[in-house]
Structure 1
Amino acid sequence: MTLRVGEVFLKIDADQSRTDVEVQAMTLAPIPTPAVLWRKPPVLALAALRGTALGRLGEPSTASAAAWAAAGAAVRRLHEAPLPPWPGVSLDETASSLDSECTWLLANGVVPADLVTRNRRIAEAALRPWTPVFTHGDLQVAHVFVDGDEITGVVDWSEAGRGDALYDLAILTLGHPEHLSDVVAGYGVDVDLDVIRAWWSLRSLTSIRWLVAHGFDPSSPGCEVDVLRSQM
C-alpha cells in the first residue's frame, strides 16, 4: 500500500521483488514518475507528486476532459517505449484467474450469479492474443496525478511488465466510462472499445475476492459490482 506523509509517498510491500520491478519500471518509463528518495525494506520512499489524483473509483472525477486526454497521451508514450526486460502476466494466467475467481464468486454468493455469468461471457473477448507493450499493469485512475490539464506523474508501478495495451486503457477508465472517449482521443490510435469493456468485466470479476479479503467493499456505489451491473 502507499501512504502520503507530508511531501513523501511511502510504498510498503513485503515482497521486495515487486519493489525491484517498481523502481526499475519508473527508471525506464518515458512519462513522469515520482523520484526515489530512499529504500529501506519493506518501505520505498518517493517524492510526492504535484497536483491531485485524476479521480477515484466510486467518485465523479472533477478533472477536465483535457486532463483525461493528457492521460491517454501519456499512456501512448509508455506503450511506444521499448519493452521492459521482464515478462508480464500471460494470456493463460489471465484465463486461469478468470476461471478460478468466477468459480469462487458463484460458490460463495458474493455477487448475483447472473452478474457473474453474463460478465464472464463479456470478459472472454479480452482473452485473445495481443502484441505486448510496456504496460503499467495497475493504471487505476487514483495512480495518475494531474495539475490542471498536465500529467505530473504516475505511481504504483509494481505490476508493470509486458502486457496488453487495452488493459491499461481499461483500468484507467474503469468506473469512469464517460471519460473513455477523452482517453482514446488523447491516446491517438483507434482501439477496440469492445475489448476495453471486456477488460472492465474481467478486472472487476477477478478483483472482488481480494477486495473482500482485505476489508474493502466492492459493492460500494460506482465500484466493481456497479461496473458489472453497468455491463448488463
Structure 2
Amino acid sequence: MASVTSVNVGLPRLVGFETTSLPETAIEKRPVPGPVRITAAGVEGNGVGDRANHGDEFMRVYAYSEEDYRWWETELDLPPASLRPGLFGEQLTTEGIDLNAALMGETWQVGSAVLQIAHVRTPCLTFKGWMGHTGHDPTAWVRRFALAGRPGPYFRVIEEGTVAAGDPIVVLDRPDHDVSVAMTFRALLIEPRLLPRLLEVDGLKDWVYERARFAAERL
C-alpha cells in the first residue's frame, strides 16, 4: 500500500555553502512527529528561502520516495538506509508508489489533504551545495541528478488537511494523457524534443507552456 513514511519541515537559515538563494536556504528538512497540517500555503512549520523559484502555488509540497533513496544509495555506493528522509529537501517521504511514473495532473489524497501533481523538481546550485555540506560528493551533482531521471513531483494543494507518517496515499484521479513526472523532467532538462508533449497537460506553469509552444512551432 502506498503511504507516507515521513513528514519533514525546515525553515530558512544562513548557510556556508553556495546557493541560488543567498544568504538563506530552507533545503534542510527534518522529520517531525504527529499530524502536520497542509494548508493552501503549504506544509505548516516549513519555510521557503528562495521565493523566486520555490513555494508558489505549483510547488506547495514536494515528495521523494524511499525507493529512489535506496536507488541513490546503490548509485553512490552507500550503506543501506544511509540517506535519511528529508535529505533531498522533500516535505513528504513516500513508499509503495512510483512518484516518477505518476502523471502530471494526477490528484491524490494524502492523509486528509488532497494534492495535485503540478511541477517537477529540477536540481540547482543550492542542492549541489547541500549535498557537499552533508558529506556527499557534490562533483557534477546537478548533472548527475538530471541524468538519473528520478526528480520527484511538486504538488498544488486542492483541499487542506493533515498528514502524518503512516498515512495512506490514494490516487483519486488520473488524467487522460501519458505525460509522466519523469517525461516532464526529461523534456525540461534533457530531451527538448519532448517539450510539445507538455501541451497535453492542464495546469502547468506559464513558462513551461511557453517553452512547449516554442518547441512545437519549430517542428
Q: Same fold (TM over 0.5)?
A: no
Name the one with the larger helix percent.
1
Q: TM-score, normalised to structure 1's length?
A: 0.30
